[in-house]
């Protein structure tokens, strides 16, 4: 139990014999957990073979299946972040069998329609607007980087930035993902060579807010994104975002940091916000105002309520 929410175990991630484990313990374990939960609506986030398993369960036992797209990569068969060919093949048919698909941006909605002929409803991600909004001088983290350590997140660009800007303090937070343990270890090892980089590894969600409060800016080096919660966490605490990806063009539209296309542009933007207090304060104010207006509890939750109620 966590805050009144019950979690049902399905199966240990590494259990079972390859090939066979698709059925046992993964398929059987997942359906067993679904039976114990006995929910009217089963809500899934992220592409994968389990969408097909959950959708089939819903058809056989009279339950509804909802997929919430987690990334732009979920919307194109050429960019799916799914390792197994079998699971990639199951994803398209499963999309068509889901009772409802929720996308986060107009781009995702259009990609789903073009690539999978699947309609979807746009809903913004949920976030908590908690945390302190400290002034410039009270923040001791110049640049914060938060992401899973997968190669597409391009953590090496953050280390390159730290090398170029030795007077700034960089903090890296994130854990390894399945199949990318070597990449995580490589980044952890390389980070030790920089005096101005603190490599934290994975940090529990309930503790990570303090780092956003202390950060003057969030830098995202990822080559693909959906609608990152990290952007929202940063903006909620008044930290602008420097990134290569701009979901729904929010950064550009509301001037909530900078969306860049080259490493040199990234370095210039970071340098500006680190050195120009007036520019940072103006951007910080825009971030806070945007979050207060666009992500109040009612405006965030209502679209979900309406979408699920229609089922």
pLDDT in tens, 240-297: 999 999 887 899 999 999 999 999 999 999 999 999 999 999 999 999 999 988 888 7
Report if residue 9 sits inside a domain. Answer: no
Residues 192 and 58 in one domain: no
Report if residue 61 sits inside a domain. Answer: yes
Residues 116 and 193 in one domain: no
C-alpha dihedral, 117 to 118 to 122 to 124, nearest 10°:
-110
Residues 152 and 105 in one domain: no
Report if residue 58 sits inside a domain. Answer: yes
Residues 70 and 101 in one domain: yes
> Which of 74, 95, 124 corresponds to the end of one domain?
124
Q: Specify whether the CB–CB gap between 127 and 229 falls below 8 A.
A: yes
Residues 89-96 have a mean pLDDT of 94
Residues 104 and 182 in one domain: no
Residues recorded for the chain? 311
Domain hosting 111: range is 39-124
Report if residue 301 sits inside a domain. Answer: no
Residues 177 and 220 in one domain: yes
**Beta-strand pair 170-173/121-122:** unpaired
Q: Specify whether the CB–CB gap between 57 and 34 falls below 8 A.
A: yes
Identify the residue with better confidence: 71 or 167: 167
Residues 82 and 219 in one domain: no
Non-local (6+) Cβ contacts of 253 within 8 A are none
The predicted structure's pLDDT at residue 14: 85
> Which of 68, 100, 124 corresponds to the end of one domain?
124
Q: Is the pLDDT of residue 224 over 80?
A: no
Can you give the pTM of this predicted structure? 0.79
Q: Specify whether the CB–CB gap between 98 and 274 falls below 8 A.
A: no
pLDDT band at 119 (very low <50, low <70, confident <90, very high): very high
Report if residue 217 sits inside a domain. Answer: yes
Report if residue 153 sits inside a domain. Answer: yes
| Chain position carrying tokens 């945007």 | 290
Residues 52 and 199 in one domain: no
Residues 89 and 141 in one domain: no
Residues 153 and 201 in one domain: yes
Strand, coil or helix: what is 5?
strand
Report if residue 7 sits inside a domain. Answer: no
Count structural domains, the chain: 2
Residues 87 and 165 in one domain: no
Report if residue 147 sits inside a domain. Answer: yes
Residues 87 and 185 in one domain: no
**CATH for 151:** 3.40.50.2000
């Amino acid at each position: 139990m966590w805050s009144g929410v019950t979690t049902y175990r399905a199966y240990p991630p590494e259990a079972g014999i390859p090939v066979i484990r698709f059925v046992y313990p993964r398929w059987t374990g997942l359906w067993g957990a679904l039976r114990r939960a006995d929910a009217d609506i089963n809500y899934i986030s992220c592409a994968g073979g389990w969408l097909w398993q959950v959708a089939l369960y819903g058809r056989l036992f009279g339950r509804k299946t909802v997929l919430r797209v987690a990334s732009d990569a979920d919307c194109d068969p050429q960019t799916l972040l799914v390792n197994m060919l079998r699971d990639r093949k199951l994803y398209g048919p499963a999309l068509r069998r889901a009772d409802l698909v929720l996308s986060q941006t107009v781009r995702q909605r259009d990609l789903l329609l073009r690539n999978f002929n699947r309609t979807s409803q746009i809903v913004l991600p949920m976030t908590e607007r908690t945390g302190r909004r400290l002034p410039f001088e009270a923040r001791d983290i110049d640049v914060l980087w938060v992401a899973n350590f997968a190669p597409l997140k391009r953590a090496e660009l953050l280390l390159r930035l730290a090398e170029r800007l030795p007077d700034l303090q960089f903090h890296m937070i994130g854990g390894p993902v399945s199949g990318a343990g070597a990449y995580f270890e490589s980044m952890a090892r390389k980070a030790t060579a920089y005096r101005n980089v603190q490599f934290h590894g994975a940090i529990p969600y309930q503790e990570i807010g303090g780092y956003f409060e202390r950060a003057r800016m969030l830098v995202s080096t990822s080559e693909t994104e959906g609608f990152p919660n990290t952007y929202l966490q940063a903006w909620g605490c008044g930290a602008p975002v420097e990134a290569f990806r701009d979901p729904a063009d929010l950064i550009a539209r509301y001037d909530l940091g900078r969306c860049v296309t080259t490493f040199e542009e990234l370095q210039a933007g970071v340098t500006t916000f680190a050195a120009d207090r007036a520019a940072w304060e103006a951007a910080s104010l825009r971030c806070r105002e945007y979050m207060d207006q666009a992500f109040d509890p009612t405006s965030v939750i209502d679209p979900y309520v309406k979408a699920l109620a229609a089922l």
